[in-house]
Amino acid sequence: MSKEMIEAVLIAGDGIGPDVTAAACEVIEAAGAPIKWLPMPAGLGAAATHGDVLPEITLAELRRTGVGLKGPVGTPIGGGFRSVNVTLRKALDLYAAVRPVRNLPGVTTRYEGVDLVIFRENTEGLYTGIENQIAPGVVTSMKVATEGACTRIAEYAFDYCVHRQRKKVSVFHKANIMKLTDGLFLRCAKAVRDAKYPQVEYEEIIIDNACMQLVRDPTRYDVLLMENLYGDLVSDLCAGMVGGLGVVPGANIGRDCAVFEAVHGSAPDIAGKGLANPLACLMSGVMMLNFLAEKLNSQACKTAAGRIKGAYDHVLVEGKIRTRDLGGLATTREFTNAIVAAL
Ligand code: ATP
């Protein structure tokens, strides 16, 4: 029976990227999701084949389809190449990084009951990359905050709270030192909350104390909202609480486009060895399916997303086949096969 297919860009990326994206696509297809993948170049491989780490053709397809699944990409060191991730987020104005961090069934860690969602402002802060050498041995880096960007990420986070029955937003900041930039971030968050979401509990917490509180008792938090660099660091910290970078998915959302990708990088230490955990990428794919289910009212995407989650939960709970980062011996291929079988 033919079904209406939804086009989505696929960026395999570098390092473990091709392995984990191939695994994710295989499972998504086996689950019967109506996705037609459009493979597009980006990263180190693209620098070699297209002379650019982020070819215009890739951006054009993302703009046209409005959705993509992306593996991690490397940026060549030196040689004047731009960071693919930063450029992609800016070019498509993917202003909201959304990273749900939860304990997984069957994956025992030091923590229980972790259920957080991190909202990271994705377009400014120190990631503007505006750095200057102002004298020999003296360099500066410029942190940028704008009212528009601070307000829209806050709106996105509070709106998510209301739609997903979340109760509390904690804003991590360092406004005691960065009074203007982090001060603006706080002012915008508070203004959004007071004007439109008074029912959502709200707290502002200085990031050093916030991190200490996080590792003592992550269950005191619900939704975390922060600027770009803090979001990068806190995402990895939180990943460590639930089993590591192999199990934390993410989305980069803009007004017209959304790119789904795991929090982890290209993991050069295990690249090409067939050892990567594809779960974070697969979970990002599930986020993509749920996003499409909502956006296009696609029951097929919703059903596939539910089936995939059921399948990987089953494999994890059974505990026989898991990758090394989760204490097992399975390869990427074996773990993928187990999930497909569980479908
Ligand atoms: P980047 O600078 O690109 O963010 P990074 O320095 O954060 O990268 P990662 O590539 O994310 O580094 O890897 C950090 C560690 O986590 C490495 O030891 C890597 O092997 C491990 N790791 C990351 N992703 C996975 C995965 N999917 N499966 C297993 N191990 C992983």
Q: Which of the listed residues 245, 283, 331 should we mutate to test ligand 1's pocket, taking the one with most ligand atoms within 8 A of CB? A: 245
pLDDT of residue 45: 87
CA distances, 208 to each of 188, 213, 215 (Å) = 21, 9, 11
Specify the residue with its C-alpha closest to ligand 1, atom 4: 265
Q: For residue 78, what pLDDT is reported?
A: 62
> In this predicted structure, which of 3-7, 72-76, 315-319, 324-328 has the lowest mean pLDDT?
72-76
Ligand 1 midpoint to CA 245 (Å): 6
Q: State if residue 71 touches ligand 1 by the CB under 6 angstroms criterion.
A: no
> Would you say residue 88 has pLDDT above 70?
yes
- Mean pLDDT over 66-71 rounds to 98
Q: What is the pLDDT of residues 10-23, one digit of tens each?
A: 999 999 999 999 99
Looking from the CA of residue 16, the nearest atom of ligand 1 is 27
Residue 85: its pLDDT value, please? 92
Look at residues 195, 209, 188 and name the one whose alpha carbon lies nearest to residue 95.
188
Q: Would the CB of 120 count as within 6 Å of ligand 1?
A: no
Look-up of token digits 């995939």 = 308
- What is the average pLDDT across 245-254? 97
For each of the domains in the chain, give its residue range(s) and CATH number, in order of start. Answer: 1-100+244-343 (3.40.718.10), 110-241 (3.40.718.10)
pLDDT at 319: 93
> 266 C-alpha to center of ligand 1: Å?
6
Query: What pLDDT score was predicted for residue 1?
Result: 41
Give 281 Cα–ligand 1 centroid separation in angstroms. 12
Question: For the residues 214-226, what does the mean pLDDT come to?
Answer: 97
pLDDT band at 38; cut points 50, 70, 90 = very high
Compute the average pLDDT of residues 94-110: 96
Question: Does residue 82 have a pLDDT over 90?
Answer: no
Sign of CA dihedral 11, 3, 304, 32: negative
Give the per-residue pLDDT at 81. 67
If you measure from the C-alpha of residue 264 to the centroid of ligand 1, how many angstroms do you get, rounded to a whole number? 5
Tell me which residue has its CA closest to atom 17 in ligand 1: 267
Contact 100, 223 (CB under 8 A): no
CA of 18 to the centre of ligand 1 (A): 14
The stretch 223-231 carries a mean pLDDT of 98
Evaluate: CB of 24 within 6 angstroms of ligand 1. no
In this structure, what token pair is assigned to residue 209?
A: 């104390």
In this predicted structure, the answer to whether residue 258 has a pLDDT above a threshold of 80 is yes
Q: Is 325 in the pocket of ligand 1 (CB under 6 A)?
A: yes
Average pLDDT over residues 331-337: 98
Mean pLDDT, all residues of the chain: 95
Distance (Å, whole) CA 17 – CA 23:
10
Q: Is 322 in the pocket of ligand 1 (CB under 6 A)?
A: no
Q: Is residue 236 classed exposed, middle or buried when 0-12, 13-18 and 19+ CB atoms within 10 A define those classes?
A: middle
Nearest-atom number in ligand 1 for the CA of 262 is: 27
Question: In this predicted model, which residue has the larger pLDDT, 142 or 4?
Answer: 142
Enter the tokens of residue 34.
């109506």
Give the 3-state DSSP-derived string for 195-252, with helices as H, strands as E and coil as C. HHCCCCEEEEEEHHHHHHHHHHCHHHCCEEEECHHHHHHHHHHHHHHHCCHHHCCCEE
pLDDT of residue 254: 97
What percent of the chain shows pLDDT beyond 90? 92
Instruction: Band the pLDDT of 4: cuts 50, 70, 90.
Output: confident
Q: How many Å apart are CA 120 and CA 148, to the nearest integer?
A: 15
